[in-house]
Amino acid sequence: MALAMAMRRAAALGARHILAACASPSSRVVPRCHMSADAGAAMEKIRAAGLLRTQGLIGGQWVDAYDGRTIEVQNPATGEVLANVSCMGSRETSDAIASAHSTFYSWSKLTASERSKALRKWYDLIISHKEELALLMTLEQGKPMKEALGEVNYGASFIEYFAEEAKRIYGDIIPQSLSDRRLLVLKQPVGVVGAITPWNFPLAMITRKVGPALACGCTVVVKPSEFTPLTALAAADLALQAGIPAGTLNVVMGNAPEIGDALLQSTQVRKITFTGSTAVGKKLMAGSANTVKKVSLELGGNAPCIVFDDADIDVAVKGSLAAKFRNSGQTCVCANRILVQEGIYEKFASAFVMAVQSLQVGNGLEESTSQGPLINEAAVQKVEKFINDATSKGANIMLGGKRHSLGMTFYEPTIVGNVSNDMLLFREEVFGPVAPLVPFKTEEEAIHMANDTNAGLAAYIFTKSIPRSWRVSEALEYGLVGVNEGLISTEVAPFGGVKQSGLGREGSKYGVDEYLELKYICMGNLN
């Protein structure tokens, strides 16, 4: 037992590096360890549906890396190798850009209705392959099947929404300034889009970008995370099946900095859209300056979740639980600091401990699981560092606080009490299943604490007072605010941050603006 655990720990250590590394052609296909029965059966189902794609997609062709190199995709719950996918770099990216560029004219010239129909068909295919896509996500990312199925619906909703929105991209006619003129504003697609996405939502972060881009008439080169390319490739396969023309949607993965640089340096790429860490987002923003690209960034958060004395305790516990522990705390809108007013602190803390105790940790393929593993060893080490920092500065562990007995990258759902603003848990995003409780006295103090960060993505408040809901919502320097609700993302509302959490909005009617340019046309001498 101890040996098995040590081996699993060693596999986790070696297996999921911070930056995934390419392997030479000879290592292709041969997985390092045998797959568990559950994972094997799931992979078989995905393969039988024709959705196990391991090559990049360039100009409608599935292609290997030009030097034949591959990269391992592993299951974070077990360390087993799921597949070897093409490990691409700048040459493949340049070809993907060229293919997106040569398709741009024909795709953008289709009528909105034609683009809408293709997107709608893609949506239908995603929904009809819900189970295979969810299995892929659970296998390569670790999230429980229930959450993975939720992500398929959420991810698909962006395609459906923007299929509809494609037909509503209106221009304007402006009252003329001189009587012999007519002034018009056209909205036109920005051009080729480079979309770089993270591992925590392997499908939705892609559809949230590609949906509006294609709806507007843009063509796209997607670079999914090297940890979770299989879901992206399966979704791209379904796009081809839906009749989205070859070259309109391309996928390359492998050497992230090389692919990123190729996208940044190309004058044909007119827009970069990125979801991921603030550090990489800043690099991409700086790198876009040379060719003056449009940029949208959805970066890290440090979400406050404020529980006031006048909150409904059941609503606050349920909301905080959802906001904190979804995807084992690995989302940028996860509650990162739970600020609790003194009068309700003890009562909330004990009810919250009870609720968190009931979370079942395990392999996401098991039905009872509500908390999967963390993405890799580095993620666990980061959590450990934050916990050590907090306890060394006087915080107390109320629940959990260590690696889970399952080994690998499983970590116990954790609650830390008496967290203060000098601790890493307060200042930075922990990105793991750790809920820090921070006591406060007054509303003013809570607002000050909440805004005392460079991040500004999501915030949550729990109160029964309507005036307070308004006051605090308006005072919070955040792009999204949940009032008495912990799960607020939806395709119909704008998602995005202020301060260093990013630029631009995704989803909703506002989401299309990021992929459009305005063109003013002045028609003169009309008398």
Residue 132 binds ligand ADP (CB under 6 A): no
Residues in region 32-51 near ligand ADP by CB under 6 A: none
Residue nearest to ligand ADP (CB): 260
Which amino acid, 31?
P
Binding mask 385-404 for ligand ADP (x = CB under 6 A): --------------------
The secondary structure of residue 177, as a DSSP letter, is: S
The distance of closest approach from Cβ of residue 204 to ligand ADP in the complex, given in angstroms and rounded to an integer, is 14
Cα–Cα distance between 25 and 30 in angstroms, integer?
11
Judged by CB under 6 A, the residue of 17, 45, 283, 471 near ligand ADP is: 283
Residue 453 binds ligand ADP (CB under 6 A): no
Binding mask 252-271 for ligand ADP (x = CB under 6 A): ----xx--x-----------
Binding mask 195-234 for ligand ADP (x = CB under 6 A): -xxxx-----------------------x-xx--------
Cα–Cα distance between 61 and 183 in angstroms, integer?
44
Residue 280 binds ligand ADP (CB under 6 A): yes
Instruction: Give the residue with the Cβ less far from ligand ADP, 277 or 484.
Output: 277
Active-site residue flag, 443: no
The distance of closest approach from Cβ of residue 383 to ligand ADP in the complex, given in angstroms and rounded to an integer, is 14
Beta strands in 129-238 (DSSP E): 172-174, 182-189, 192-196, 219-223
Instruction: Give the residue with the Cβ less far from ligand ADP, 199 or 308.
Output: 199
Catalytic residue of the set 87, 218, 332, 334: 332
Structure tokens at 433: 């299943």
Catalytic residue of the set 298, 377, 412, 443: 298
Instruction: Give the residue with the Cβ less far from ligand ADP, 226 or 491.
Output: 226
The distance of closest approach from Cβ of residue 425 to ligand ADP in the complex, given in angstroms and rounded to an integer, is 18
Which amino acid, 432?
G
| Rounded alpha-carbon distances, angstroms, from residue 104 to 63, 308, 525 | 21, 52, 34
Identify the CA nearest to 99 among candidates 210, 212, 222, 187: 222
Instruction: Give the residue with the Cβ less far from ligand ADP, 107 or 199.
Output: 199
Instruction: Give the residue with the Cβ less far from ligand ADP, 383 or 398.
Output: 383
The site for ligand ADP, by CB under 6 A, has a size of 14
Structure tokens at 455: 């991040």
| Rounded alpha-carbon distances, angstroms, from residue 117 to 68, 110, 166, 460 | 37, 11, 10, 37
Q: Determine phi and psi for 181, rounding to 5 degrees.
A: -120, 160
Q: Which residues pair with 481 in a beta bridge?
A: 459
Residue 276 binds ligand ADP (CB under 6 A): yes
Q: Which residue has the tokens 């006087």?
A: 394
Judged by CB under 6 A, the residue of 55, 108, 277, 420 near ligand ADP is: 277
Q: How many CB atoms lie within 10 A of CB 29?
A: 10
Residues in region 89-128 near ligand ADP by CB under 6 A: none
Active-site residue flag, 258: no
**What end-to-end distance do the CA atoms of the chain give, in Å?**
90
Across the beta sheet with 182-189, the strand order is 172-174, 182-189, 516-523
The secondary structure of residue 282, as a DSSP letter, is: H
Binding mask 179-198 for ligand ADP (x = CB under 6 A): -----------------xxx
Instruction: Give the residue with the Cβ less far from ligand ADP, 82 or 222.
Output: 222
Q: Which residues pair with 121 in a beta bridge?
A: none
Instruction: Give the residue with the Cβ less far from ligand ADP, 242 or 458.
Output: 458
Q: Are 36 and 243 in contact (CB under 8 A)?
A: no
Q: Are 300 and 499 in contact (CB under 8 A)?
A: no
Q: How many CB atoms lie within 10 A of CB 402?
A: 12
Residues with catalytic function: 298, 332
Q: Footprint of ligand ADP on this chain (CB under 6 A)?
A: 196-199, 223, 225-226, 256-257, 260, 276-277, 280, 283
